[in-house]
């Protein structure tokens, strides 16, 4: 799960870059609004917005990692259920009692 969460976070980080102009503007506006609401300088509001964005990214990637682990566990269970219908013939106990 931790590995997949890291992969999802890396994918999210590749999407959220400074080359994404629309997203950069939105984060800037969010930072300004947060700074105004908290009575802080705009620079601190911008860093607060980035911290919030990172927290959301970590939370989302962790949830997606858990979902991936659940899907894998479900498939393993389905395969196990399917294989349980075909027991090995050599594993049956013998009816002879040994004296």
Can you state the angle between helices 42-84 and 2-15, rounded to 10 degrees?
Answer: 140
Q: What is the pLDDT of residues 64-99, one digit of tens each?
A: 999 999 999 999 999 999 998 887 766 666 666 655
Domain contains 91: no
97 lies in a domain?
Answer: no
Note whether residue 78 is domain-resident.
yes
**Cα angle 58, 53, 40; round to 5:** 135
**Residue 71 counted as domain residue:** yes
Tens digit of each residue's pLDDT (9 = 90 or more) over 3-25: 888 888 888 888 887 788 888 88
List the domain range (segments joined by +) for residue 30: 2-84
Residue 76 belongs to a domain: yes
Q: How many domains does the chain have?
A: 1
């Amino acid at each position: 799960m931790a590995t997949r969460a890291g992969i999802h976070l890396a994918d999210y980080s590749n999407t959220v870059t400074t080359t994404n102009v629309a997203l950069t503007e939105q984060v800037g506006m969010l930072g300004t609004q947060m700074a105004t609401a908290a009575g802080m300088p705009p620079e601190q509001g911008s860093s607060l917005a980035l911290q919030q964005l990172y927290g959301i990214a970590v939370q989302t990637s962790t949830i997606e990692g858990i979902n991936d682990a659940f899907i894998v566990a479900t498939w393993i269970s389905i395969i196990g259920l399917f294989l349980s219908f075909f027991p090995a013939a050599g594993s049956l106990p013998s009816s002879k009692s040994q004296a």
